[in-house]
Amino acid sequence: MATIPRSTDRDWRGFARSLLLSVVGIFAAYLALAVLVDPYDTGRSTLLSRGAVRPQGPRTASAMRGRDPAFTGAVIGNSHIQLIEPAALTRLTGIPFVQLSVPATGPMEQFAILAWYLQHHAHPAALVLSADAFWCADDPAFPSEHAFPEWLLGDWPDYLKGLIRFPAAQETVNRLGWLLNPRRKTAPADGWWDYERNYLGQGFGIEPAKKAALEKPVSSAPEPHHGGPFPIADRLRAELARVPARTPVVVVFPPVYARSEPPVGSPRATAESACRAAVRRALATHPLSTVVDWRDGRPEGADPDLFFDQTHYRLPLARSLTTEIAAAIVRLRTGMTE
């Protein structure tokens, strides 16, 4: 039986050791570079921070916008509150607002953004939270079908794990290219995105089929896993405990089209009403808080020209809602100083 010469065996072991050390070295070098570049500008490394938001989706841009000290007020939710223009709130309240809403998110993601914002703003001037149907799930984990980069807003171990992903490596390269480009483009610092053109471009409010879908009545039975009990109440209380007592908090029940409202007295109507009542009770534990309720049968909710679909409203209605939110904040602040 042939034997491997000792010198050859040593050569192979040396090669394997060198290969392993090379892989470890390359990995460590990449991780060090990624931390230095900070691809999503989380502030963990500020050496290459330029104080501007690189064009990207709100899921990742919230890391930079949420820590920006220029904004002492924040709007947090999903696409059901995303058309609230932060600059308009700023004009009406005197508080610099940032829009931190992220489409297709629920309470877990929104509270993660809130925690990140509070981590960087010890004493916010005002907070606006959107409580839509996703808040009324009966699973306390509030699972979402859409991925969300919570690692960006987490602690260092989570952040380092998150960087060990191909998309993060791509963004590290993309950010380097953006930093080196003297004509680099930037996104709005306050997170404002008017998506009305996007909806119109997809035929909402125009195509007959989509207009017909707007008029489809909803079932009187509660949605699956939305019949109660409602763990959002305990979770909201816990989140509000982090908010300074002198920070006004406004919870918005965003508008929905009248045809999507369940029949009065139906099991679904009862469940939705019970959920909103639970949110109100939890909110009341914060000393400076109020609700802006657009689920109260207002005539605007029956105007099809003010909606794209049954849960997404258009700019004219968003401007009315913005005015009411601002007035609520002003009332809370006035009461605080009296």
Cβ(45)–Cβ(36) below 8 Å: yes
Distance CA 59, CA 102 (A): 6
Q: What pLDDT does residue 279 have?
A: 98
Q: What is the DSSP letter of 307?
A: B
274-299 pLDDT tens trace:
999 999 999 999 999 999 999 999 99
pLDDT at 210: 86
Q: What is the largest CA-CA distance in the chain?
A: 96
Written as one string, the DSSP assignment of 67-101 is T-TT--EEEE-STTTTTS-HHHHHHHHS--EEE--
pLDDT in tens, 143-194: 988 999 999 999 999 999 999 999 999 999 999 999 999 999 999 999 999 9
Identify the bridge partners of residue 316 per DSSP, sorted by sequence position.
none
Which of 130, 85, 74, 73 has the alpha carbon at shortest distance from 107? 130
Q: Would you call the peptide bond into 229 cis, given omega within 30 degrees of 0 as the criterion?
A: yes
Q: What's the one-letter identity of residue 226?
A: H
CA dist., res. 74 & res. 117, Å (int) = 8
Mean residue pLDDT of the chain comes to 92
Question: Which H/E stretch holds residue 60?
Answer: helix 58-65
Q: Which residue from 91, 79, 138, 73 is spatially nearest to 271, judged by alpha carbons? A: 138
Question: In sequence order, what are the beta bridge partners of 129?
Answer: 76, 251
In order of their start, the domains of the chain are 73-138+190-337 (3.40.50.1110)
pLDDT at 4: 53
DSSP character at residue 262: P
Mean pLDDT in residue range 294-313: 95
Angle subtended by helix axes 58-65 and 107-120, to nearest 10: 20
Task: Report how far residue 243's alpha carbon sits from residue 159's, in angstroms, rounded to the nearest whole number.
Answer: 24
Contacts 24+ apart (CB under 8 A), 296-301: 297/261, 298/255, 300/255, 301/255, 301/256, 301/257, 301/258, 301/261
pLDDT value, residue 73: 98
> Rounded distance, CA 285 to CA 236, Å?
10
Rounded to whole angstroms, the Cα distance separating 185 from 181 reads 9
* Other C-beta atoms lying within 10 Å of the C-beta of residue 88: 17
Q: How far apart are CA 91 and CA 280, in angstroms?
A: 28
Using CB atoms within 10 A of its CB, is residue 171 exposed (0-12), middle (13-18) or buried (19+)? Answer: buried
Q: Is 126 helix (H, G, I), strand (E, B) or coil?
A: strand
* Residue 200 predicted with pLDDT over 70: yes
- Amino acid 178 reads W
Sign for the CA dihedral angle at 253, 257, 263, 264 comes to positive
14-58 residue pLDDT tens: 767 777 777 777 888 999 999 999 999 999 999 899 889 999 999
pLDDT, position 252? 98
Evaluate if residue 336 carries a pLDDT over 70: no
Whether residue 10 is predicted with pLDDT greater than 90 in this model: the reply is no
The whole-model pTM stands at 0.92
Q: Which pLDDT score, from 0 to 100, does residue 1 have?
A: 52
Helix (H) or strand (E) holding 172: helix 166-180
